[in-house]
Structure 1
Amino acid sequence: MISEIDVMQIIVYAGNAKSLAMNAINEAKKGKIVEAKKMLEESKSNLKIAHQQHTDILQKFANNPDEPANMFLTHAQDHMMAAITATDFTKEMIDLHEEIQKLRILIKGKS
């Protein structure tokens, strides 16, 4: 039987992952690239936990095809997918801000 606690774990860890990803972008915008990368890694760690919980639930469904799915699980999956997308885009944003910083330093060195 899949409990609400099982499903809630996905929501909690995916929510943490998304929040950390968004905070990482803000840190990168401030030029704090090292801090942003640390937050991104923490985001990925939370996402990994959410994903493992999701995998465990899917295994329960595989072992018991009569297990009813519910909207709460769909909601949790939506949170996880949003967190995955946020984390993926955050890496790109951090990389862009890092390149911008390097260009600024290069331009200052030439003036």
Structure 2
Amino acid sequence: MELENIIMELIIHAGESRSCSMEALRAARQSDWALAEQHLTAAKVAVREAHLIQTQLIGADEGMGKIPVSLILVHAQDHLMNAMLCRELAEELIYCHREISSLKNR
């Protein structure tokens, strides 16, 4: 597969993960915990796919500069890091939503 297509796959999976994380937060705001968990699971799957692509690119590069660093590659890395951070923060915020919700319902 052509390098640009591989990089686009990374961007697609990272974007999907971020979108799912945000959907999980929206579900948590509505106290729909099952849906929030569903979206978090989908976010984890998508970010795992993106991370596998990143790992393959790093392996192909072998630390020797074999993979040219282009703006689209930097953009893809940015997407992946944002997706990973967004998922982690979504998990923490959903936990907080649940705690607050349980306190309100006492």
Which TM-score tier does this pair reach, normalised by the shorter chain? over 0.9
Tell me the equivalent position of 2:86. 86
**Corresponding position of 1:3:** 3
Q: 1:86 to 1:15 in 2, by over 3 A?
A: same
What is the 5 A alignment of 1:66-77?
Answer: 66-77=66-77
Task: Kindly indicate whether the alpha-carbon contact (under 8 Å) linking 1:2 and 1:57 is maintained by their aligned counterparts in 2.
Answer: no
Matches of 1:37 and 1:50, distance apart in 2: 20
Q: Where do 4+ consecutive residues of structure 1 move more than 4 Å?
A: none
CA-based RMSD of the aligned residues comes to: 1.6
Contact 1:10 1:53 in 2 (8 A): yes
Q: TM-score, normalised by structure 2?
A: 0.93
* Matched letter for residue 5 of structure 1: N
| CA positional deviation for 1:67 | 3.4
Listed as ranges, the gaps of 5+ residues in structure 1 are 107-111
- Kept in 2: contact 1:24–1:40 (CA 8 A): yes
Task: Tell me the residue number matched to 1:109.
Answer: none
Q: 5+ unaligned residues in a row in structure 2: which ranges? A: none
* Counterpart Cα distance in 1 of 2:26 and 2:92: 13
Q: Distance in 1 between matches of 2:25 and 2:62?
A: 38
Superposed, 1:11-90 pairs within 5 Å as 11-62=11-62, 65-90=65-90
CA contact (8 A) 1:2 1:60 kept: no
The CA deviation string for residues 45-76 of structure 1, in whole angstroms up to 9 with x for no partner, is 00000000000011111176343221111000
Q: Which amino acid aligns with 2:103?
A: L
Alpha-carbon offset, residue 93 of structure 1: 0.8
Q: Tell me how many residue pairs correspond in the alignment.
A: 106
TM-score of the pair, normalised by structure 1: 0.89
Which has the greater radius of gyration? Answer: 1
Cα distance in structure 1, aligned partners of 2:67 and 2:43: 31
